[in-house]
Chain A
């Protein structure tokens, strides 16, 4: 089951440059929340703060409170522990190039010391089925490298890899921006199904995508969360002038 996300006064910096200002928001459990906004507005930084990936960049830091279910992300838990609970899918598909398809999916478990082969087989199969890739790869699980798949398949492989560690939240940072429309369609369909099991936060450049997959949408501008509301409302009657300007294409 997914859990809700609560963010309170989140600030983030790259060195001396502030990237996020006092973000306070909520993403309900088992729903998809989309994050939109023009390039450089802090969307990616925002989701990377949710699983503390932000701090892997040299000189980057963040303050504030992020609560994921019972978990206080910035207090009392190690970043590594957090990331095992929160799956992440990146903009560009990034399978481990020297690993087989099987090992790619099993990587999160194996590298953290889980070696029960029978259970691993089950988990790999289940994850690949969840990410709708099973039928395409089931005959070459151990023979082919993850890098030998097409871009869309690679991205679904990365989703399977993230799901295999059974996270409660799935963060997706523009997961379709490097994909063709057919692959994009498959992944959007997938997001729709995954909502039953996970809470999803998805960054997207594509407003249609936000309206297709997400119940809630937040609009970011210059590092600030301008508004967050039901997706329908954001796209029809936004309460802020700046949101309206953005979605009607007046800038961005």
Chain B
């Protein structure tokens, strides 16, 4: 026992503190472990895709259209472009509608209509993607008389909207009311406050929601099966059948040919890389102009 007066801090710490320190370390360890568990599947998938797919990626794969069965070579260039095309259509339709609905719910939706929209969005979020494909088939394909990029875009847009709507609402509700009041106090009208102040304050969160929805539909196959349909050739017309990476992967993966299997792996790798690239690019562009100390 140390003498009175010379006691170091270490010794006056009662035993309970030791238990707390151990608990602290254990809980930190558990938290780190769960992070690893979350990240592990992602890296495992990515590593496996690289392992299986990288061998088939070459210049031809990225620039050529598919070759007929039996011929070696060829690529998925038209599918890569087609995916980008369909996703562009989906975003052009889905993002404004989703954000608009989110704004309505957050700023004006404290009523029965708001509750109905909220409920509808949540149910829509749970509708299987193949069902949404059938709906787009019924609405667009049947009325046009043929498969098209537009039909694929509509199907994906329908899938994006509920996610964007709900995250936009959540993010806008996180903006403190004091910020809105500051704008009202300056004589700024309500709609202007919503667009220039509230939405702007919530921008980074809203973008996260949009990216989440985008990444989710980017790899969707089922809704494209009978909407965009797929195409062996280039297509830039909005009302023509269009190839998509996910469709091409699906077709190649269930085929009996080894060469196509290898190309399916390569296509999957490209799809993941493109999604990561698109999401990061938007983050960087949107993050630019952020000020020191903001948020």
Binding site for B on A (CB under 8 A): 51, 53, 56, 58, 80-85, 87-88, 90, 92, 94-100, 107-108, 111-112, 140, 143-145, 147-149, 158, 161-162, 165
Asked whether B200 lies within 8 Å of A144 as measured between CB atoms, the reply is no
- Expressed in whole angstroms, the minimum distance between the Cβ of B252 and any Cβ of chain A is 46
Q: A111-B188, A112-B188 are in contact. Are A53 and B181 (CB under 8 A)?
A: yes
- Closest CB-CB distance, A158 to chain B, in whole Å? 7
A107 / chain B contacts, CB cutoff of 8 Å: 183, 186, 188, 197
Chain B residues with CB below 8 A from A58, complex form: 110
Residues A56 and B184 in contact, CB atoms below 8 Å apart: yes
Task: Select the residue from A53, A81, A88 with max chain B CB neighbours within 10 A.
Answer: A88
- The number of inter-chain residue pairs (CB within 8 angstroms) is 97
Taking the closest CB of chain A, its distance from the CB of B290, in whole angstroms, is 8
Encode contact with A along B175-197: 1 for CB under 8 Å, 0 otherwise: 01011111111111100110011
Identity of the chain B residue whose Cβ is nearest the Cβ of A51 in the assembled complex: B185
Q: Apart from A58-B110, A82-B187, what are 18 other A-B pairs with CB-CB below 8 Å?
A: A53-B184, A56-B184, A80-B188, A85-B187, A92-B178, A94-B176, A96-B182, A98-B201, A98-B294, A107-B186, A107-B188, A108-B186, A111-B186, A144-B291, A144-B293, A145-B291, A148-B292, A149-B293
* A88 to B183 Cα, complex, angstroms: 10
Whose C-beta in chain A lies nearest to the C-beta of B180? A56
Across the interface, which residues of B come within 8 angstroms of A147, CB to CB?
293-295
B106 to chain A, nearest CB (A): 14
Contacts of B186 in A (CB 8 A): 83-84, 87, 107-108, 111-112, 161-162, 165
CB neighbours of B188 from chain A (8 A): 80, 107-108, 111-112
CB <8 Å contact, A162 and B185: yes
Given the interface pairs A100-B291, A143-B292, A145-B294, the reply to whether A56 lies near B181 with Cβ below 8 Å is yes
A-facing residues in B183-218 (Cβ within 8 Å): 183-189, 192-193, 196-197, 200-201, 203
Chain B residues engaging chain A, CB cutoff 8 angstroms: 110, 176, 178-189, 192-193, 196-197, 200-201, 203, 290-295
Q: How far is the CA of A124 from the CA of B293 in the complex (A)?
A: 20
Nearest CB in chain A to that of B184: its residue = A56
- Taking a contact as CB atoms under 8 Å apart, the answer to whether B182 and A98 are in contact is no
Q: Report whether A111 and B182 are in contact in the complex, using a CB–CB cutoff of 8 Å.
A: no
Nearest neighbor of A82 in chain B, beta-carbon distance: B187
Give the Cβ gap from B14 to chain A, nearest Cβ, in Å: 36
**Contact across chains for A145 and B181 when beta carbons are under 8 A apart:** no
Residues in B neighbouring A81, C-beta threshold 8 A: 187
- What residues of B have a CB within 8 angstroms of the CB of A84 in the complex? 186-187
A83 touches B185 (CB 8 A): yes
CB pair A96 B178 closer than 8 Å: no
